[in-house]
Amino acid sequence: MSGDDLDLVRGSGNVFRDFGHPDADLEQARAIVAAAIVRALDRRMLGVRAAEKLTGIAASELSRIRNGRLGRFTLDRLITILGRLDQRLQVSIDIQERPSAPALAGT
């Protein structure tokens, strides 16, 4: 395969948006907070059982976060878990208009 066979595609910075997820921004936010939880656990060398004792969050829930299975978690719950690991979250929000969809013919 030569380099000519590849197309360079630039992502938006949000993989969920790039793959057409309907709640892409929320999914991205949850993934970022979950990654911060995993980093905090790793930095403190905490397994899920030790983290359960420290945070009061069930080991099975912490295991789901470690494995990226975030479907059961709201953003505020993830932020609460992060706080129980003595982490502070600073949020910056940038609101932009979505690109308008092309007008339908005849409307």
Q: Is the pLDDT of residue 106 over 90?
A: no
Residue 15 scores a pLDDT above 70:
yes
Mean pLDDT of 47-62: 95
Instruction: Please answer whether residues 30 and 68 qualify as being in contact, where contact means their C-beta atoms are separated by less than 8 angstroms.
Output: no
Prediction pTM value: 0.79
Residue with tokens 């595609």: 9
User: Which distant-in-sequence residues (6+ apart) come within 8 Å of 83 by Cβ?
Assistant: 89
The pLDDT tens digits of the residues spanning 70-96 come to: 999 999 999 999 999 999 989 888 888
Average pLDDT over residues 56-70: 96
- Please give the torsion angle defined by the CA atoms of residues 39, 31, 17 and 92, in that order, rounded to the nearest 10 degrees: -80
Residue 28 has pLDDT above 80, yes or no: yes
Task: Tell me what the pLDDT averaged over the chain comes to.
Answer: 88
43 pLDDT above the threshold of 60: yes
The percent helix, strand, coil of the chain (3-state, each to 5) is 50, 0, 50
